Structure 1
Amino acid sequence: MHHPNFPRRQSGFTLIEIAIVLVIIGLLLGGILKGQELINSARVKNLATDFRNIPMFIYGYQDKFRALPGDDPAASTHVGTTSITPASGNGNGVIDSLWNSTTAANESVLFWQHVRLAGLAPGLTTIPATLPGDYNPKNASGGIIGIQSGTTDAAETPVKGADGKAIGGAYVICSASILGKFVKQLDIQMDDSNTAAGSMMATPTTGYAKGAAATATTAIDDATSYTVCMGV
């Protein structure tokens, strides 16, 4: 028996099915972006905590021993143990040497040994032969953290602003290798959102040297690593 040729129904997705798929994709992308945003916020929070904690180490040490960690001339008496005799500072009231010094006898290096032996901070209590290694604390981006006394000498300061003047503060805390996208958020959270002025400034980590010029916020590249310094 002959059957008439009816047109076959085309297979495929309906508009409703396509709409559902697009909604699901949108939800997944939104979740991924939100998750990344939360991760970034947590990292910036950790970076900010580093800057806030270090002054507490100073105040805690001064309250207990009436001396400045790193500069303490009686460190061996104050925080020495039966197995560790820390070197003492010169007692001149400042943390001498650069924040990223790799010389074991320098006060910016002794600072970490003193506050750790005092039970104020975690980390190695003996200074290794090769610095920084695992001796200096690390930030959430893996860069080293350090401290030194502030100076008005633009050639000796860790970083200088757009006005050519040294970053202010009795002490200057620096944290290296922070991506630009976090640098901008960090400055907004802790200072004036201007990375070339105020109490917080940033300069590229690559090629870093004392007296480095700060980079303006508008010139900060999200994918470039910077050393961020804050005067306290």
Structure 2
Amino acid sequence: MRQTVSQRGFTLVELATVMVIVGLILGLAFKGRDLIDGARVKSAQASASKVLAAMHIYFERYGRYPGDGCSGNVPPEQVTPADCGGIADNRYTPAEAAAFVPLLIRTGMLSAADARTPFGGDWSAAPGSGADNTEAHALYLTVGGVDSHSVDLRYICALDAQYDDGDPAGGQLRSNVSPGGDAGRYQRGDDCWSAKQGMQALNVRLLP
């Protein structure tokens, strides 16, 4: 006598259960990504605040801001406050700006770890050019330069929206894009996470 083997398929209930589980897993993955992005934005703001605090502590101790009055004759990684006896006018040249973060680290105002950003690079200082939404002679805390393309635009947009005015051309936080609602720019009130793409400059005004 031949035995027949019955093949049983999935019931609708079983298929629905699997779909619900898959949906939950995907939802948790996307939520986890949102949490990571949000934490990175907060970390960037906290990191920039540490640099600002260190700058003011340096001024209280030495009577001038870090780098101001440096001659540029000493490599930035070797510069000391004694090498910066020139006129302190808060108008930074590129050589003076290059000494800003190294001086904070060498004097113990800032740790090397605190000089790192959550974006894969270190903070540096650079004078504004009068272009790229920066003001001439102002000093900016930046990642790669005031005209660089070093930071994901979504993070710049979120930082500006949460901690400044949401305008890339105004306030204390600037980026080298003109205000706009398309994918490569941002403006006040934009959804930073789902509609933005590309790499742009992140510049936080330090002085004056």
Bucket of the pairwise TM-score, normalised by the shorter protein: 0.7 to 0.9
TM-score relative to the length of structure 1: 0.65
Counterpart of 1:40, as a letter, is D
Question: What does residue 37 of structure 1 align with?
Answer: 34
Q: Secondary structure at the match of 1:218?
A: coil
Matched, 1:178 2:148: no
> Structure 1 residues 190 and 62, CA, compared in 2 at 3 Å: closer, same or farther?
same
Change (3 A) 1:94 1:193: same
In structure 1, C-alpha distance between the alignment counterparts of 2:35 and 2:61, rounded to whole Å: 38
Counterpart of 1:175 in structure 2: which amino acid?
V
Could you say which residue in structure 2 is the equivalent of 1:102? Answer: none
Given the superposition, is the C-alpha separation of residues 117 and 94 from structure 1 closer, same or farther in structure 2, using an over 3 Å criterion? same
Q: Which residue of 1 aligns with 2:22?
A: 25
Q: 1:144 to 1:97 in 2, by over 3 A?
A: farther
- Give the greater-gyration-radius structure (CA): 1
Residue of structure 1 in register with 2:172 after alignment: 199
> What secondary structure sits across from 2:10 in the alignment?
coil
Matched position secondary structure for 1:36: helix
Distance 1:42 1:115 in 2: 25
Superposed structure 1 runs of 4+ greater than 6 Å apart:
none
In structure 2, relative to structure 1, the CA distance for the partners of 1:54 and 1:226 (3 Å cut) is: same
How many Å separate the matches in 1 of 2:67 and 2:182?
36
CA contact (8 A) 2:92 2:138 kept: no
Superposition pairs for residues 220-231 of structure 1, below 5 Å? 220-221=183-184, 222-231=196-205
Q: 1:140 to 1:228 in 2, by over 3 A?
A: same
Q: Distance in 2 between matches of 1:112 and 1:158?
A: 23
Percent of counterpart pairs with the same letter?
Answer: 24
Distance across 2 between alignment mates of 1:49 and 1:174: 14
The CA deviation at 1:178 is: 1.0
Contact 1:180 1:220 in 2 (8 A): no
TM-score (norm 2): 0.72
Given that residues 167 and 199 in structure 1 are in contact (C-alpha distance below 8 angstroms), is that contact kept between their aligned partners in structure 2?
no
How far apart, in 2, do the equivalents of 1:42 and 1:89 lie?
40
Indicate the residue corresponding to 1:15 in structure 2. 12
Aligned to 2:59: 62
User: Do the aligned residues in 1 keep the contact of 2:130 with 2:136 (CA within 8 Å)?
Assistant: no
How many Å apart are 1:146 and its aligned residue? Answer: 2.0
Q: Deviations over 1:24-81 (max 9, x none)?
A: 10110011011111111111112222322222111101112222211267xxxxxxxx
RMSD over aligned CA atoms reads 3.0
SS in 2 for 1:18: helix
Q: How many pairs does the alignment contain?
A: 179
In the alignment, structure 1 segments of 5+ residues that lack a partner are: 2-6, 74-83, 99-105, 125-136, 151-155, 161-165, 204-213
Aligned to 2:119: 141
Mapping of 1:62-211 within 5 angstroms? 62-71=59-68, 86=80, 87-94=83-90, 96-98=92-94, 106-123=95-112, 137-148=115-126, 156-157=129-130, 159-160=132-133, 166-167=134-135, 171-176=139-144, 177-203=150-176
